[in-house]
Homo-oligomer: A and B are copies of this chain.
């Protein structure tokens, strides 16, 4: 990636990390086990891509990074981390490693890992309720975020479809609905919420939503391709796991080449939604481009 986008992502990640550091109780706060477990997973080397998208969506609308938007990004990262902790549990994906480190239940036991995931979801909504923006915008953000992590078109729904579709023949419709829900919805709301925090009007929200929907799907396709093509060391998690468990993925339906073309086309369509913002959207575009071209 170019030096510019690298600096952009590193700066956004550093801001997010500082916010997370201040927003999650310290590892010496009673009960210490739960706070240690929350911190173990939140500070396990995540790239903070959702918060970076949130910040750049804010820049796209406001022209500069809105004050306090890193707390919104931190809340979204907490939700992402909670989903990873629960996804890794023995009853779900049964993963021992995440980003090259022991998963939460491996380090703290299943009971604390379940509760640490629960607590990160709770704390995320508490942080959202404390955002420094007009109450009506806060309420709108909370409603959209909850919908994006929910069962009908959101993250949990996608996880359930994913579990239920193992060993089924993957159809285009199934893969599309899993992707839109499981990871797409949270990416999409990361963009939209950043815009609302920055004062987006209804037409801005519609454009950011279109951008987030296309970019989120492209991101997941790229992720599926990486699972097939990268090795475990580069990836920091067990590679080839989707194939081994016969998960419904984009490459399983369309093959690698078509998947890469689809991801590139979706990014082009996503960019088109941002035309009205000119150069103010450059950061958001650069981060999205990085998402689909990354190697781990």
Contact A146:B129 (CB < 8 A) given known A151-B34, A151-B35: yes
Is A89 an interface residue, CB under 8 A from the partner? Answer: yes
The distance in angstroms between the C-alpha atoms of A118 and B111, with both chains bound, is: 14
CA distance A143 to B138 in the complex (A): 11
Q: Which of A120-128, A219-227, A265-273 contacts B (4 or more CB under 8 A)?
A: A120-128
Q: Tell me the smallest distance from the CB of A122 to a CB of chain B, in Å.
A: 5
Q: How many Å lie between the Cα of A86 and that of B119 in the bound state? A: 12
Task: Assess whether A118 is in contact with B115, with CB atoms less than 8 Å apart.
Answer: no
Judge whether A139 is part of the interface by a CB distance below 8 angstroms.
yes
Residue of B nearest to A140 (CB): B129
With contacts A86-B115, A117-B118 taken as known, whether A142 is within 8 angstroms of B156 at the C-beta atoms is no
Is A34 a contact of B157 with CB atoms below 8 Å? yes
**Contact A129:B143 (CB < 8 A) given known A33-B164, A119-B151, A150-B119:** yes
Nearest CB on B from A167, distance (A): 15
How many copies of this chain are found per oligomer? 2
Q: How far is the CA of A150 from the CA of B35 in the complex (A)?
A: 11
Q: Does A159 contact B (CB under 8 A)?
A: yes
- The reply to whether B115 and A130 form a contact with Cβ atoms under 8 Å apart is no
Cross-interface CB contact of A129 among B35, B89, B123, B142, cutoff 8 Å: B142
- For this complex, 23 residue pairs linking A to B, each with C-beta atoms less than 8 Å apart, are A25-B151, A31-B157, A31-B160, A31-B164, A34-B151, A34-B156, A35-B151, A86-B114, A91-B111, A115-B159, A118-B118, A119-B151, A122-B146, A122-B150, A123-B146, A123-B151, A126-B146, A126-B150, A129-B139, A129-B146, A135-B135, A138-B139, A142-B142
- Identify the 5 closest CB pairs spanning chains A and B, nearest first: A126-B146, A91-B110, A135-B135, A129-B143, A31-B160
